[in-house]
Amino acid sequence: MSFTVERAFDLLMQSREQGRFAHAYLITGDEGSGKRELSARLIRAVNALPENLATLDDLASGSVTVVRPEMKSRRIGIGAIRETERIVHLAVGAQTTKFVVVVEADRMGEQAENAFLKTLEEPPRGTVLLLLTANPEALLPTILSRCIRIPLQGLGSQRLPEASLTFLKAVGRHFAAKSTGLAGVFGLMGTYSDTLKEGKKHIETQHGDQLKIEKEHYARTTEGDWLKRREEYFQARVESDYLQLRQHLSDDLMTWFGDVLRQQKGVDRLDLPECAEATRTTSQLLTSEQVLEKIDAIETLRSHYQTNVNESLATEVAFIKIFG
């Protein structure tokens, strides 16, 4: 489930107060979701810094290292990572936590990522690493496995995207009609699959248009394998954005059932007020135990999506449990 910046900050501070503050966090989310804002706020709170140090650039100092892609190449090179490794081993005040913030961490090449693993595996005492990215799937699995992920909601999270709204309306109709049997399940699977297919088609068109623009602009001014690497980059972005779309759709389904529970408990605040009528109707048709079982099935599906399991088979099994 994704978080607002406010909620993510509260959870991180609670972890620190309870002695469970990790040494590495992967803060993910679409552009505009607040990854930099959360990082800056966390650094200020941990090191008791003034509010007027509002941005990461304001905070950059001997105790705060900010790593970004180089302007020309748009990559984070191995040289920048080695320099960062040198800096984090320099001494700072005893009461100060050192932070390394890697902005657009997915822009590290494989060499840079492998070099960064050394710091990630054995960070100096009192050092916290923050990796910010909209495309976590582009990072090496060894990087991902060593970070605690903090997924942030996008700017449009207060309003459901059209794709999710269409699917969740179908979910509401399914329960309102008291559908039983596989016919209803496979009908919802069809809606879900169509939503993902249309989303991927839109993603491919978006990135294809951008690649075309770059080819036309840079074809005569670049050398070597630059265009080939850009093609590979956009292919990776298509896959990454598709996985994010799928993740968002399952997040919204989880949130929908969360609202069903809130309706059962008489809670006024709903995360999806636009679906209030459907979640209220469903709350009267299911027991709390049944809702929790369905939430567990969604969580299992999301876990399966992180593995090499067959996507269609995992979805079918989960949908039977959730909607059958």
Instruction: Give the tens place of pLDDT for each residue, 92-131.
Output: 777 889 999 999 999 898 889 999 998 898 888 889 999 9
Residue 244 near residue 237 (C-beta atoms within 8 A): no
Residue 312: CB atoms within 10 A of its CB come to 10
248 by Cβ neighbours in 10 Å (0-12 / 13-18 / 19+) ranks as buried
Interatomic CA distance for residues 108 and 104, integer angstroms? 8
Q: Tell how far CA 194 is from the center of its chain.
A: 22
119: tokens are: 């710091």
Instruction: Tell me, letter by letter, the H, E, C secondary structure of 249-295.
Output: HHHHHHHHHHHHHHHHHCCCCCCCHHHHHHHHHHHHHCCHHHHHHHH
Query: Phi and psi of 240, rounded to 5°?
Result: -65, -45
CA distances from 168 to 60, 174, 272, 291 (A): 44, 10, 10, 15
Most confident of 88-92, 100-104, 208-212, 224-228: 100-104
pLDDT more than 90, % of the chain: 38
Is 168:160 a contact under the CB 8 Å cutoff?
Answer: yes
Distance CA 142, CA 184 (A): 40
pLDDT in the model for residue 160 = 62
pLDDT band of residue 62 (cuts 50, 70, 90) is confident
| Cα–Cα distance measured from residue 284 to residue 176, given in angstroms and rounded to the nearest whole number | 10
Q: How confident is the model over 269-299, as pLDDT tens digits? A: 888 888 999 999 999 999 999 999 999 999 8
22 DSSP 8-state letter: -
Assigned superfamily of 5-157:
P-loop containing nucleotide triphosphate hydrolases (3.40.50.300)
| Res. 48 pLDDT band, cuts 50 70 90 | very high
pLDDT of residue 129: 96
Does residue 126 come out as left (phi exceeding 0), alpha (psi in the -120 to 50 range) or beta? Answer: left
pLDDT at 267: 84
